[in-house]
Amino acid sequence: MSGAHFAFTDRWGGVSAVPYEELNLGGAVGDDPDAVRRNRDLAATALGVDPARVVWMNQVHGRDVAVVDGPWPEGREVPAVDAVVTAERGLALAVLTADCTPVLLADPVAGVAAAAHAGRPGMVAGVVPAAVEAMVGLGARPERIVARTGPAVCGRCYEVPADMRADVVAVEPAAGAETSWGTPAVDVTAGVHAQLERLGVRDREQSPVCTLESGDHFSYRRDRVTGRLAGYVWLD
Ligand SMILES: [Zn+2]
């Protein structure tokens, strides 16, 4: 899509040591802060993005959205939000994940982009519809929005207690799933796509990668102490 850029990292190409090897982009997972800074520089440079023009979030599994027009001021606490939206071309928005679903959205015509962090609680709370609503507030139109979801734990791997699945399905039926071994599961990415479909966002693609099954990706459910992948979206 001309004008809109979407990128998802894997775990290789960085400087972090075990168990964060190699390209850990998460700053709150116990890794050496210098390594994380180096990795963020490496990842941005590889994408042709200015590392100083990337907006990160303090993600808390909620549905709050921040509208931004530049990076957070140096030395101030990064707000606790799970989606960021911008109308600033050239500003990259980043979302950190290790099993949760990274959601990147862009309306290249309006020049509006969003990045959202949708784990099970965030998907149920509606963080993705909240991000779309904020985009519309800046002039985006759902039928022009391009949506890309990145590597995430799949519905055949994300086992949950039966009552938890029932709670999720009560809100989002499309997220009901079953593990490959026949127990209750949740498919967060399917839930996100169902939400976007209902909002009229039809240009959608989903990464085929399951983080828990892939040795090339960080997975919290598999490894517990591990790194974070990032998804980036920006507009020319
Ligand atoms: Zn899987």
Supply the pTM of this predicted model.
0.97
Domains by residue range for the chain, with CATH: 4-152+210-235 (3.60.140.10)
pLDDT at 1: 47
pLDDT at 121: 98
Sign of CA dihedral 10, 12, 49, 122: positive
Up-side HSE of residue 59: CA atoms within 13 Å toward CB? 28
Measured in Å, residue 53 CA sits from the centre of ligand 1 at 33
Q: Which helix (H) or strand (E) holds 45?
A: helix 33-47
Measured in Å, residue 187 CA sits from the centre of ligand 1 at 10
pLDDT at 2: 59
C-alpha 108/C-alpha 202 separation (Å) is: 15
Measured in Å, residue 198 CA sits from the centre of ligand 1 at 25
Measured in Å, residue 39 CA sits from the centre of ligand 1 at 26
Q: What residues of the chain score a pLDDT lower than 70?
A: 1-2
pLDDT at 106: 98
Measured in Å, residue 213 CA sits from the centre of ligand 1 at 5
pLDDT at 74: 86
CA 82, 124, 214: angle at the middle one, nearest 5?
Answer: 70
Q: Which helix (H) or strand (E) holds 196?
A: helix 188-199
C-alpha 168/C-alpha 185 separation (Å) is: 10
Measured in Å, residue 190 CA sits from the centre of ligand 1 at 13
Q: What is the pLDDT of residues 171-202, one digit of tens each?
A: 999 999 999 999 999 999 999 999 999 999 99
CB neighbourhood size of 68 (10 A): 18
